[in-house]
Structure 1
Amino acid sequence: MPYQRGHDNRLPPERASKLGHLEVIQSELVQKLCKSFNDPEIVEHTGSISKWEPLPTGGEELKIVFSTDGSIQVIENPNPPFKAIAFVKSALLRIDQFAISKIDKDNPHPFALRDLMKESALYHSTAFPLRNVYIEGKSNYDAIREIMFESVKDKGLNNSLDGAMMETLKWIAYEKWLDTPKSELEKFGCPHCEKNVATLPFDEEKGNCPECKGEIYITDMFGLHQCMTDDFAPNQVASDYMSVSETLMIFTPIRYFWDNKREVLKNCLFVKDGPLSLRATLAKLSAPIRRFFEFAKSKGFDIAMIGQEKTGQFYDHLQLIGNSAPVGHCFIPDNKYIQEQIKHNNTTTVYGADTNYGAKLFVKINDYHKMVLNIPTGQRGEFVLNPSQQHLINFKNIVATLPKILSNKFEGALLPIELANKIASLSTYPSAKALELFANELKGK
């Protein structure tokens, strides 16, 4: 490991040897080993055990599409004391099939996209002081907890959310769709005494720990405070909040229509960028979400939702098996396949049992549109170990809608996600530079 550059830039970093590789490639052992290495027939092997089946037919096209995406940009100062601020942005977009039909899928006109998004998008942004940036009179630990709470109550950049995400959080956490909702939150770790006794009575947003009487927020149920100290929070805290905000964004129209115009849900498709899952302590919402989908199904409302994974192990696996797969087919891997062929784990645990509220499936619509999708399942609100097409809620109508929302701008792209990404994206350049200048300006005041 080389020495790093001096913090005051007085001395340069130690450089790796430009000739150090010669001894490696001249080694007889290395040469012998490299000659014995062969490329395994991965595509043929995995393709032979993946069970592709035809996509269902006879579904009806869903006319209204909601999509959500989020983005995060952490601005870090490379010099001591290594200040760090995280900016998070999420967006919800509503479009209909008539508007989509007017967009050129190969070369969409920028003005046409602008007009489509102008009146159809809701935005939410926030910022977290992760390290060595302070709010007067508060530790970072308490400041981030409070920011998270106030952010969920945010009205949004266009003043259109008006606390809608908080109402959605309470709707899910207390399971308010039931005739008899939960009387209190599931117990969680108190951010003050650290005992797993914290809870809130029905519909409350904040209160006091029954053990230590410290103030607690409903957002403390996510347990993000467990990885923070008084003056330090990892980047993962901001990333986890982004996952929460995306989830609350996509469920906000579901909540609204369920409470006010339930019949509209039968004509809607909800599209989320990323998997239908919530990691670690965020997974407290996964179980009630699964129960909602099953409850709605029992009432005759099959909520159509998909999540698309554009990176990660499932996406990489699709690149191995997708080319040889037949067009118009899908493959739903069971737990054994996921653990052995995708995660490469030698374990008896069930993948995603606590975190996922949708089943994974590979879909090949045509040679240019192969994708990894997640679709909620209905089985008494429980996690489905080995899902089939019959478990996928509203699968026929989803399949009928997919060809109408494809984009030819990127491989396997869906137009609603592409548009939501345009709204939510905080690119490395120039967004990061603009945020860095903004952060430095604030700190200089």
Structure 2
Amino acid sequence: MPYEKGQRLPAEHASKIGHIDLTKSEFVRKIVEDLGLNEESEDYSQRDMPIISVSNLGSTSLIPMIYGIDGSMQIIEEKGKWPFKRYAFIKTAMLRIDFRSLEKIDKNYPNPFELESLMKKSAIYHYTAFPLRNISYEGLNIYDAIRSIVFKSLKQTLEEEVLETLKWLLYEKWAATKKQLEFFECPHCHSPRATLEYDAEVGPCPICGREIFITDCLGFHQDMNQDIARDSIIGTYMIIHETLLMLTGVRLLWDRNKSVLKDSLFIKDGPLSIRAQYSKLVQPIRRFLSHARSCGIEVNILGQEKTGAFRDHFDMISPCIDAGYAFIPSSSYIIREIQGRSETGAPYGKDTNYGAKVFYKFNNYHKMVLNIPIGDYLSDPKENDLIGFERIMATLPSIISNRFEGAIYPIELANGIASLSSYPSAKVLELFASELRK
């Protein structure tokens, strides 16, 4: 690997003649000569690809109310004086729009004043900040500061509604019986049998007696030590907050007006998955979606993956799929063709995903990797297993944006109000923090 660019000196460039020796190697030449096309593996049209037509859903009713959810973060490092301070800002947003509002906006050249008016009327924002290194908060070290900020941030969003959604999931309040909170690792004594009484937000650890938060069960403390937190905590918090913000809308409609919930579509930027120790939220989400479906209420949720391995794979196979068609890959297909690992391990997404992947080709310019919930886990989901599949796919053509390839307008709008750019946002936030700490 070459040396990267520094403050004074340029980056090291790759050799312009390094290929000469390689091309003269008899060993390499023999390998290249023996390379051949494995036609079976490349003929994707003959593989495990059941293609579904979604262009004949004209009689399916569209979903009139749409919510777009997105988030952004910026990590700041002040390098003026050692020890360098490191902290982060996070912003998430949920935007509600309906077709009447959407029809007034030009999807190719939207009027900024119309966008501003729409956002003021129907956007919900959340802001927070985290210390990561060489900073204290309220006299606490990094470890306890982040635990405290996670709890306070969820509690202050929408007047405690987002924290209530976390409790609603973990205690499964939609069910007829009171569910005990599952055991988790105590952030103090590290006993794996920490828990709280039903519906509690804060309480003593049953083992060591020290105060624990309901948010501790998510496991943020497992990604840091007393003085330093991993940057990955910031991305994880953003994903969890986006998920809880989305499900807060679901919960409020579930409690107040289920008929409106049936006619609402929640679109989240990114996959419908939560990884590592934080995946303990996945099973409650699945159980609720299955419960709602059994009650005759299909909760319409859609995730979109703009980048990553699935998007790269879809770009490769999309010539084999006609416009107006979709493909739902099985766990076996994902493991074999995308992850390139043995199928002897765990099925793909069994513990981490609450949505199935859907490759959808609207036309040659709009190819999307979507996620749609299935309730209980299935290794080979079909279109009838995906919750709200027909209505979601029938609605999509009406909310596709022409400003970016594969763009969905509600996500584009949500990103516009949630994003924090590297420049000038990062510099402005650094100056903002420096001024406040003077």
Q: Quick check: TM above 0.5?
A: yes
* Residue of structure 1 aligned with 2:415, choices 416, 421, 430: 421
Offset at 1:48? 3.6
Matched residue of 2:128: which SS?
strand
Question: Match for residue 394 of structure 1?
Answer: 388
The runs of 4+ residues in structure 1 deviating greater than 6 Å are: 1-6
Matched residue of 2:43: which SS?
helix
* Residue of structure 2 aligned with 1:84, choices 83, 86, 92: 86
| Aligned equivalents of 1:144, 1:320: Cα separation in 2 | 42
* Residue of structure 1 aligned with 2:367, choices 360, 366, 370: 370
Question: Match for residue 235 of structure 2?
Answer: 239
| Aligned equivalents of 1:252, 1:290: Cα separation in 2 | 15
Offset at 1:408? 0.6
Q: What letter corresponds to residue 391 of structure 1 in structure 2?
A: D
Preserved contact between residue 332 and residue 388 of structure 1 (Cα < 8 Å): yes
Change over 3 Å in CA distance of 1:97–1:41 after alignment to 2: farther
Matched residue of 1:413: which SS?
coil
Question: Match for residue 118 of structure 1?
Answer: 120
* Residue of structure 2 aligned with 1:152, choices 146, 151, 154: 154
Offset at 1:390? 1.0
| Aligned equivalents of 1:51, 1:254: Cα separation in 2 | 32
Q: Map Cα deviations across residues 120-149 of structure 1 (whole Å, 9 max, x no partner).
A: 000001000001111242111001100000
Percent identity (aligned): 48
Offset at 1:248? 0.7
Counting only pairs closer than 5 Å after superposition, residues 180-199 of structure 1 correspond to structure 2 as: 180-182=177-179, 184-199=180-195
Offset at 1:118? 1.5
Q: Map Cα deviations across residues 5-49 of structure 1 (whole Å, 9 max, x no partner).
A: 99xx8xx56964x68453553342287379649796899533442
Question: Match for residue 340 of structure 2?
Answer: 344
Aligned length: 430
Offset at 1:427? 1.0
Matched residue of 1:153: which SS?
helix
> Are residue 255 (structure 1) and residue 257 (structure 2) matched?
no
Offset at 1:246? 0.1
Preserved contact between residue 222 and residue 284 of structure 1 (Cα < 8 Å): yes
Offset at 1:364? 1.3
Question: Match for residue 29 of structure 1?
Answer: 25
* Residue of structure 2 aligned with 1:268, choices 227, 242, 264: 264
Question: Match for residue 53 of structure 1?
Answer: 52
Q: Map Cα deviations across residues 236-280 of structure 1 (whole Å, 9 max, x no partner).
A: 111111011000111111100111111111111111111111111
| Aligned equivalents of 2:149, 2:20: Cα separation in 1 | 54
| Aligned equivalents of 2:317, 2:290: Cα separation in 1 | 32
RMSD (Å), alpha carbons: 2.3
Change over 3 Å in CA distance of 1:25–1:398 after alignment to 2: same
Question: Match for residue 72 of structure 1?
Answer: 73
Question: Match for residue 98 of structure 1?
Answer: 100
| Aligned equivalents of 2:379, 2:14: Cα separation in 1 | 53
Gaps spanning 5+ residues in structure 2: where? none
Offset at 1:282? 1.2
* Residue of structure 2 aligned with 1:176, choices 173, 179, 187: 173
Q: What letter corresponds to residue 60 of structure 2 in structure 1?
A: G
Preserved contact between residue 92 and residue 250 of structure 1 (Cα < 8 Å): yes
Q: Map Cα deviations across residues 175-230 of structure 1 (whole Å, 9 max, x no partner).
A: 11111131x21110000011111111111111111001111001111111012111
Matched residue of 2:362: which SS?
strand
